[in-house]
Amino acid sequence: MRVAPAVAALVSAVTLAAGTALPAAARTAPHPVRIVKIYYDSPGADRRTNDSLNAEYITLLNTSRRAVNLKGWKVRDKSGYTYKFGKVVLRAKKRVTLRTGQGDDGVAVVYWNRKQYVWNNDEDTAYLLDRKGRQVDSCSYKASSRSAYVDC
């Protein structure tokens, strides 16, 4: 038996109002590790000094109440530059900053150890991939004359 479109729409509206539209398992929740900031244009002239490279960075936040092991996770830009996390455990409600230049990794800061910039000053996209290569977040930007960073 066919149901008239108006009746089908009414049934859908009632189902949504009753809160039974989708079972909980069918809803997709965002991953708790998110890209929260990209500082894409380090201050001053782009001379590729280590200080300038390290002023370019991306910050991730663990929004959950549990630690997340980032070993094997990747941050990639639109051009394909890829950073792979080593032994990094991102504790609950904490941030980790990935700086482009060279340095010694710590709990809250890790270094790409590059000698060239990653993030384009005009526009780019950052992708966060889990250890299985699944995209869990992304952030795109177009440069603004008022800012050298984007909050995602």
**Domain CATH number, residue 85:** 2.60.40.1260
- Those residues whose C-beta lies under 8 Å from the C-beta of residue 111, and which sit 6 or more positions away, are 54, 98, 99, 100, 101, 102, 103, 104, 105
Is residue 20 in a domain?
no
Q: Which domain range does residue 86 map to? A: 29-151
Per-residue pLDDT of 39-91, as tens digits, reads 999 999 899 999 999 999 999 999 999 999 999 999 999 999 999 999 999 99
Average pLDDT of the residues in 110-133: 97
pLDDT at 29: 57
Is residue 45 in a domain?
yes
pLDDT at 146: 81
Is residue 22 in a domain?
no
Is residue 11 in a domain?
no
* Spatial distance between the Cα atoms of 64 and 123, rounded to a whole number of angstroms: 30
Structure tokens at 143: 């440069």
Average pLDDT of the residues in 133-150: 92
pTM above 0.85, yes or no: no
Domain count along the chain: 1
Average pLDDT of the residues in 101-110: 96
Is residue 17 in a domain?
no
